């Protein structure tokens, strides 16, 4: 086991019955709240009314900001922060998916520091790592995907420069999060699939590269992956089943709360580096969709570069019961079976299917190296150069 430090300050409430406990707690953070929502789903579905009533019942003053985009735009975040400042809010309540939660963290930081623009604070920009604090962030996640309800990360997009980059601080970790599966029965099929893909990626990343030092992290991660592989097809058939939705939701929180890597060697989140560069180039591309496209190609690239074959083979045994003695053959069989699962669940595509042409691969790979590698190769348990990234992108074109 390698050394580690974990701090999860978020008070988590799970389930409908925890509504009162959650809303009663909010007085700890103030009485003047900025609610941040996305394109309006939570309004149309009536969820926002429920939350507003619960807050008003507790004497809260409410300012609403509506209009955070999927892959949240820096410029929209800046506008929301200005409104929060003008209304002198005490804390920020994010009510939406990962995009809304990430935007809310950035808004909370800008208000606290009395700053106007978030983009200069993201990785690769001049004010990176200089933010001093944030207002308390509270979340009600409406997707099962990012785990932003417990993470210190906010991933920000900037269409003006075709950029997408994280800004992360311990003080971005939400103070409290209410996970209510009842708000998940309306998630559209494609968004449900994209979310499941994202959950898997959060455990895949370090499972593949981090080695064998932490059997507890391995068994924990396999449990999450087994749950997602089994549950997504069930949710597709029965989308309003709250018990199934709850299983995906809790899997998503568990998949990126740091337990999934604890005790392993730490390496970069390579698929995330590549995907963020892709959805920075095309802000219409959902994060989980981009990851699903990269999976098979990246796994094959790892094999060809003599990396992680033992871990891919282990996944084959644990997730699909593959029993093949030869390690490389077992690893290849895992990739084949996982490709089949992706295909069965509408997640097997090519980059050209999501409007990312081969002519853009060079520019996107260069962005990944410059921003996520600081100009150096990415650390994929060994170097991953620009040409390697382009090779992975090209391999996705075989996925038909
Ligand atoms: O905008 P609204 O109207 O809310 O609609 C959203 C949006 O169109 C809709 N939706 C969400 N919940 C719904 C719903 N529709 C019906 N019923 C519901 N209950 O779904 C669409 C997608 O929402 P979005 O928030 O963009 O999806 P997701 O949760 O996958 O978040 C993606 C963002 O999170 C970042 C991604 O890069 C991307 O920008 N990530 C954040 C991480 C973190 N903070 O730690 C880690 C992740 O790896 C990821 O990078
Ligand atoms: Zn992710």
The ligand that comes nearest to the alpha carbon of residue 284 is 1
Residue 75: give the domain boundaries.
11-183
Q: How far is the CA of 141 from the centre of ligand 1 (A)?
A: 9
User: What is the rounded distance in angstroms from the CA atom of residue 276 to the CA atom of residue 289?
Assistant: 11
Last-in-domain residue among 183, 212, 237 = 183
E strand intervals along 78-208: 91-96, 137-141, 153-158, 163-168, 176-179
Rounded Cα–Cα distance for residues 310 and 316 (Å): 10
- Say whether both 103 and 138 belong to one domain: yes
Best probe residue, ligand 1, of 105, 156, 187, 191 (max atoms within 8 Å of C-beta): 191
138 and 173 fall within a common domain: yes
- pTM equals 0.98
Please say whether the beta carbons of 28 and 195 come within 8 A.
no
Contact 157, 73 (CB under 8 A): yes
One domain for residues 172 and 195: no
CA atoms lying within 13 Å on the CB side of residue 88: 2
* 8-state DSSP, 348: -
- Cα 40 to middle of ligand 1, angstroms: 13
Pocket of ligand 1 (CB under 6 A): 38-42, 70-71, 96-100, 102, 142-143, 145-148, 151, 153-155, 183-184, 186-188, 191, 194-195, 198, 272, 287-288
Alpha-carbon span 172 to 7, nearest angstrom: 12
CATH of the domain at 60: 3.40.50.1970
User: Residue 293: which CATH number?
Assistant: 1.20.1090.10
The verdict on residue 279 lying in a domain is yes
Identify the bridge partners of residue 163 per DSSP, sorted by sequence position.
158
Give how many domains the chain has, as a whole number.
2
* 102 and 248 assigned to the same domain: no
Q: Does residue 32 sit in the same domain as residue 98?
A: yes
Q: Do residue 275 and residue 356 come from a single domain?
A: yes
Give, for ligand 1, the residue of 41, 71, 97, 142 to mutate: max count of ligand atoms closer than 8 Å to Cβ.
97
157 and 216 both lie in a single domain: no
Atom of ligand 1 nearest to the CA of 151: 45
Same-domain check for residues 150 and 224 = no
Contacts of 309 (CB under 8 A, 6+ apart): 302, 303, 327, 328, 331
Nearest ligand for residue 45 CA: 1
Pairing of strands 137-141, 91-96: parallel
What number of residues does the chain have?
400
Report residues of the chain scoring pLDDT below 50. none
Is residue 58 located within the same domain as residue 76?
A: yes
Predicted pLDDT of residue 271: 98
Q: Is residue 4 part of a domain?
A: no
**The pLDDT of residue 190:** 98
270 and 179 fall within a common domain: no
* Rounded CA Rg of the chain: 20
Q: Which ligand is nearest to the CA of 286?
A: 1
Shared-domain flag, residues 138 and 103: yes
CA distance 350 to 98: 24
**Measured in angstroms, how far is the CA atom of residue 59 from the centroid of ligand 2?**
36
Q: Tell me the β-bridge partners of 378.
A: 384
pLDDT at 400 (0 to 100)? 87
**Ligand 1 center to 212 CA (angstroms):** 32
Question: What is the CA(20)–ligand 2 centre distance, in A?
Answer: 31
CA 66 – ligand 1 centroid, Å: 14
The alpha carbon dihedral of 94, 100, 102, 107 has a sign of negative
- On whether residue 91 sits in a domain, the answer given is yes
Q: Is 142 a member of any domain? A: yes
Tell me which ligand sits closest to the C-alpha of residue 101.
1
Name which residue sits closest to atom 7 of ligand 1, judged by CA: 70
Instruction: Tell me if 17 is assigned to some domain.
Output: yes
Task: Transcribe 247-268 into DSSP letters.
Answer: HHHHHHHHHTSSTTTTTSPP--
Q: Are 42 and 97 in contact (CB under 8 A)?
A: no
Residue 1 forms part of a structural domain: no
Domain-terminating residue out of 167, 183, 199: 183
Distance in angstroms (rounded) separating the CA atoms of residues 115 and 165 = 18
Same domain as 155, residue 237: no
Last residue of a domain, one of 155, 183, 211: 183
What's the CA-to-centroid distance between 246 and ligand 1, angstroms? Answer: 17
Answer yes or no: is 293 within a domain: yes
- Residue 204 in any domain: the answer is yes
Of ligand 1's listed atoms, the one at least distance from the Cα of 101 is 44
């Amino acid at each position: 086991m390698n050394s580690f430090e974990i701090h999860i300050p978020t008070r988590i409430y799970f389930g409908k019955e925890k509504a009162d406990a959650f809303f009663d707690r909010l007085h700890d953070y103030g009485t003047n709240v900025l609610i941040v929502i996305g394109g309006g789903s939570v309004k149309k579905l009536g969820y926002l009314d429920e939350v507003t009533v619960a807050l008003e019942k507790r004497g809260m003053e409410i300012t609403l900001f509506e209009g955070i985009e999927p892959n949240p735009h820096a410029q929209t975040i800046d506008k929301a922060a200005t409104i929060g400042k003008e209304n002198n809010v005490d804390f920020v309540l994010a009510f939406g998916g990962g995009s809304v939660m990430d935007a809310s963290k950035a808004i909370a930081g800008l208000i606290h520091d009395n700053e106007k623009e978030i983009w200069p604070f993201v990785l690769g920009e001049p004010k990176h790592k200089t933010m001093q604090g944030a207002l308390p962030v509270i979340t009600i996640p409406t997707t099962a995907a990012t785990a932003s309800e417990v993470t210190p990360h906010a991933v920000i997009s900037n269409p003006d420069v075709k950029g997408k980059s994280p800004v992360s601080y311990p003080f971005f970790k939400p103070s409290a999060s209410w996970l209510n599966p009842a708000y998940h029965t309306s998630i559209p099929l494609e968004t449900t699939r994209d979310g499941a893909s994202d959950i898997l990626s959060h455990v895949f990343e370090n499972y593949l590269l981090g080695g064998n030092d932490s059997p507890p992290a391995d068994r924990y991660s396999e449990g999450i992956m087994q749950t997602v592989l089994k549950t997504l097809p069930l949710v597709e058939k029965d989308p309003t089943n709250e018990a199934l939705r709850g299983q995906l939701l809790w899997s998503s929180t568990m998949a990126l709360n740091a337990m999934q890597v604890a005790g392993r060697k730490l390496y970069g989140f390579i698929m995330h580096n590549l995907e963020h560069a892709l959805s920075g180039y095309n802000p219409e591309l959902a994060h989980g969709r981009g990851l699903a496209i990269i999976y098979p190609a990246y796994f094959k690239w790892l094999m060809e570069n003599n990396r992680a074959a033992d871990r891919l083979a282990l996944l084959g045994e644990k997730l699909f019961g593959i029993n093949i003695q030869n390690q490389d053959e077992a690893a290849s069989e895992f990739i084949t079976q996982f490709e089949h699962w992706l295909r069965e669940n509408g997640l097997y595509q090519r980059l050209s299917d999501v409007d990312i042409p081969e002519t853009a691969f060079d520019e996107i790979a260069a962005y990944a190296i410059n921003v996520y590698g600081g100009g150096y190769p990415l650390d994929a348990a060994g170097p991953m150069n620009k040409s390697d990234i382009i090779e992975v992108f090209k391999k996705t074109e075989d996925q038909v």
